[in-house]
């Protein structure tokens, strides 16, 4: 049996996130405490108590979700098995690299905090927005977008019939009407601070490049499937560090190819997926790709306790 580790991205946050993990698992508590020390403010309190408006700020949302995900991972006590695959949706790709051992938690936390700041700033410099189109296949969305003036593109291919678009406000608004008339069941404007995964994030990608260059990288213990290529960064080879840095920089400007990433993992023999972090969005997306896929969300203390009790595993460290 081959395992797929999945890590959620922005949008999975909620007030109260991670509090139960903090209270019940010493390993999770250590992660939140380390996050507070690295960032220099009480991220744990923001996650546990809010306020919601502050938690929803991109610069806070990203480290909050990242910290919750790694807290759950550490609470499980897992070490990435070489035969496994790891993947994360947008921000979640950073969690995947930490789980795979490509860089440590503190380095990843500094990266995602800076990533959130840069993305927010890019949204101020070049205002944009995003929208989700439901009920249209990727090829149809691309066809319809080709007739829209201005900058707008597919930002996320999430699952069959779920595509997110991103770009300039006027272009996205025009595209929303075209997608509706083109057969979309629903088109929903998203509450975001910028046009993520579009050319409008160019300044953020440039700023992130310098920080990525300074971040030490190690060969990951298992392949990580990147959003940008929908294929793994292999765990060996002399060029793994440049490949990781390049994938994370390009990710800000490129489409998140999540549906293809899931299909890639299925084709590589992954038979069981675990969504590690807040919420269960990715579980729904995976089942949208393959209704028979086995996906287990592991983001709450209750979910972890049920999983550990039914498998007979401890939290002392096991290769999964």
Tokens of 223: 């392949």
User: Catalytic: 197?
Assistant: yes
Instruction: Name the 3-class secondary structure at 136.
Output: coil
d(CA 105, CA 110): 9
H or E stretch including 60? helix 58-76
Q: Which residue, among 137, 188, 186, 158, has the nearest Cα to 286 in the 3D structure?
A: 158
**Alpha helix (H) ranges present in 8-57?**
19-24, 26-39, 43-49, 52-55
Q: Which of 69, 90, 193, 261 is catalytic?
A: 90
Give 199's DSSP letter. Answer: G
Give 263's DSSP letter. Answer: H
Tokens of 55: 């938690």
Instruction: Give CA torsion, residues 293, 294, 300, 306, to 10 deg.
Output: 170
d(CA 217, CA 219): 7
Contact 278, 251 (CB under 8 A): no
Contacts of 143 (CB under 8 A, 6+ apart): none
Q: Which of 68, 197, 229, 261 is catalytic?
A: 197
Residue numbers annotated as active site:
90, 197
């Amino acid at each position: 049996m081959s395992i797929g580790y999945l890590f959620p991205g922005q949008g999975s946050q909620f007030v109260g996130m991670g509090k139960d993990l903090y209270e019940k698992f010493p390993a999770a508590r250590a992660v939140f405490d380390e996050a507070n020390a690295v960032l220099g403010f009480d991220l744990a309190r923001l996650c546990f108590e809010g306020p919601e408006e502050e938690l929803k700020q991109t610069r806070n949302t990203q480290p909050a979700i990242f910290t919750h995900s790694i807290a759950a991972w550490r609470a499980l006590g897992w070490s990435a098995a070489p035969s496994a695959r790891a993947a994360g949706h947008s921000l979640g790709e950073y969690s995947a690299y930490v789980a795979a051992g490509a860089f440590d938690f503190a380095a990843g936390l500094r990266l995602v905090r800076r990533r959130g700041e840069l993305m927010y700033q890019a949204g101020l410099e070049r205002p944009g927005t995003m929208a989700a189109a439901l009920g249209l296949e990727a090829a149809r969305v691309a066809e319809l977008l080709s007739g829209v003036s201005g900058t707008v593109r597919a930002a996320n291919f999430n699952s069959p019939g779920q595509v997110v678009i991103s770009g300039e406000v006027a272009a996205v608004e025009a595209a929303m009407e075209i997608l509706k008339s083109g057969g979309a069941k629903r088109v929903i404007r998203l509450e975001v601070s910028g046009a993520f995964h579009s050319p409008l994030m160019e300044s953020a990608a440039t700023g992130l490049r310098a920080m990525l260059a300074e971040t030490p990288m190690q060969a990951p213990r298992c392949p990580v499937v990147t959003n940008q290529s929908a294929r793994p960064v292999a765990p060996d080879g002399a060029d793994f560090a440049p490949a990781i840095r390049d994938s994370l920089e390009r990710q800000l400007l490129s489409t998140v190819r999540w549906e293809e990433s899931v299909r890639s993992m299925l084709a590589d023999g992954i038979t069981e997926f675990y969504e590690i972090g807040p919420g269960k969005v990715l579980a729904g997306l995976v089942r949208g790709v393959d209704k028979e896929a086995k996906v287990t969300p592991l983001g709450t203390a209750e979910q972890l306790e049920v999983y550990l009790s039914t498998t007979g595993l401890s939290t002392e460290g096991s290769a999964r």
